[in-house]
Amino acid sequence: MKHLNVIFFILLVVLCWQCRQKSSQADAISLAQVVLPKDFREVFCPIELGNFESEIIKSRTFLMERGFPSAPEVFPEYPNWKPLDSIYQQQSFDMMSESERRLFRRIGSIVILRNHALLDFPAEKEKIAFYTTEYIEAGGNSAGLLYFCLQALGDYITAAQKKAYAEAVIMQSAEAIKKYEAWLERTKANVNPDEIPMPNNELKEDIANIERIIQMERAYAAKLRAGL
């Protein structure tokens, strides 16, 4: 009887392992089917200026007073990273609170790297490395943005640095995804997207966009785990 129990336990372990393998393979297949943008400008970067309107207004004012765009979610018609780089380097970070420094470093690096297209200049590896580090240390959570940064940097930074950056952003990205999934769950619990009337198509688009963002972030995180 004891031998039968041991055999049963072994079979159970093997079955569980096979289930995990199949699940991992299914995840890999679904992620492989996600169409990712080839242009870094199209990756999603959470701006996160605050949870309430008053906080958002305060953050926009703070950025504007320091020479940065008050609407970092908007792309400029004529991107030029150099003037903003000069403004960034002249900031008195010691005069900012911890939350202000974190906000400015995170938003500033997004605006310079992506919106004002520093990543279009892979020869500027020192600058790209600097703003990548700023983004990571300020709690950046876009696996997509980091993927393009590391592609541009190539061997300019060490494998250990790449791994540390990837691990940090993957963790932050996963936390952001949890928030998006919670929003989807709450929204879908209150309304069936297929039954949304025509005047409210905007909500249907929001749902589709959030689902797309989740897919892309997971796919970019998988690429980071695989070492690009």
Question: Per-residue pLDDT tens for 15-24?
Answer: 333 434 444 4
The answer to which of 33-37, 164-168, 177-181 has the lowest mean pLDDT is: 33-37
- Is residue 79 a contact partner of residue 69, using CB atoms and an 8 Å limit? no
What's the rounded mean pLDDT across residues 205-219?
92
- Whether residue 58 is predicted with pLDDT greater than 50 in this model: the reply is yes
* pLDDT (0 to 100) of residue 7: 38
Residue type, 34: V
Q: Which residue has the higher pLDDT, 21 or 143?
A: 143
Question: pLDDT at residue 217 above 50?
Answer: yes
**Sign for the pseudo-dihedral over CA of 101, 102, 103, 106:** positive
Contacts from 174-180 at CB under 8 Å and sequence distance 24+? 174/221, 175/141, 176/46, 176/141, 176/217, 177/214, 177/217, 177/218, 180/210, 180/213, 180/214
Q: What pLDDT, on a 0 to 100 scale, did the predictor assign at position 190?
A: 82
- Is the predicted pLDDT of residue 98 greater than 50, yes or no? yes
pLDDT in tens, 62-73: 999 999 999 999
- CA 55, 57, 58, 60 torsion: positive or negative? positive
pLDDT at 212: 93
Q: Which region among 142-151, 173-182, 189-198 has the lowest average model confidence (pLDDT)? A: 189-198
User: Taking 50 as the threshold, does the pLDDT of residue 164 lie above it?
Assistant: yes
Residue 25 has pLDDT above 90, yes or no: no
What is the pTM assigned to this prediction? 0.82
Share of the chain above pLDDT 90, in %: 71
Mean pLDDT of 116-126: 97
pLDDT for the residue 205: 86
The mean pLDDT value for 114-136 works out to 97
What pLDDT does 30 receive?
A: 63
Average pLDDT, the chain: 85
Higher per-residue confidence, 202 vs 91: 91
pLDDT at 126 over 90: yes
